[in-house]
Amino acid sequence: MAEPVLSPVDALNLRAQGSAWVEVVDAKATVLLRRHMGAGETVLLQGFLPISVVLGRADLMTVKVHGQGFDVRPWSNNNVARFEVN
């Protein structure tokens, strides 16, 4: 049985409106992204589900999960958002 994978069509899309720190790790503990993103920068990520996401300066990030807009505010504390993509 194959493991669930976030496909390119259903990818995690992150766009920075300003300088923000991002860490994204998939279910196999593969670091998909761990760095600062600059204003206007966009990344499209895919990996094995679930994918763990940490956003520093969450207020400056626009997130799409499975092609749909995702509000990180409920997952934010002190402007750091932590959530999992399933």
- pLDDT band for position 11 (50/70/90)? confident
Per-residue pLDDT, 1: 47
Domain with 42 in it: 12-85
Residue 6 has pLDDT above 70, yes or no: no
CA dihedral in degrees (62, 64, 54, 23; nearest 10)? -100
- Decide if 31 is inside a domain: yes
When pLDDT is averaged across residues 13-20 and rounded to a whole number, the result is 97
Specify the pLDDT at position 18. Answer: 97
Could you read off the pLDDT of 29-57 as tens digits, one per residue?
999 999 999 999 999 998 888 899 999 99
Determine, yes or no, domain membership for 7: no
Residue 4 confidence (pLDDT) above 70: no
Q: Does the residue 75 lie in any domain? A: yes
The answer to whether residue 6 is domain-embedded is: no
In a domain, 1, yes or no: no
Domain annotation covers residue 67: yes
Q: Residues 6 or more apart from 32 whose CB is under 8 A from it?
A: 24, 25, 26, 45, 46, 47, 51
Number of domains in the chain: 1
Quick check: is 44 in a domain? yes
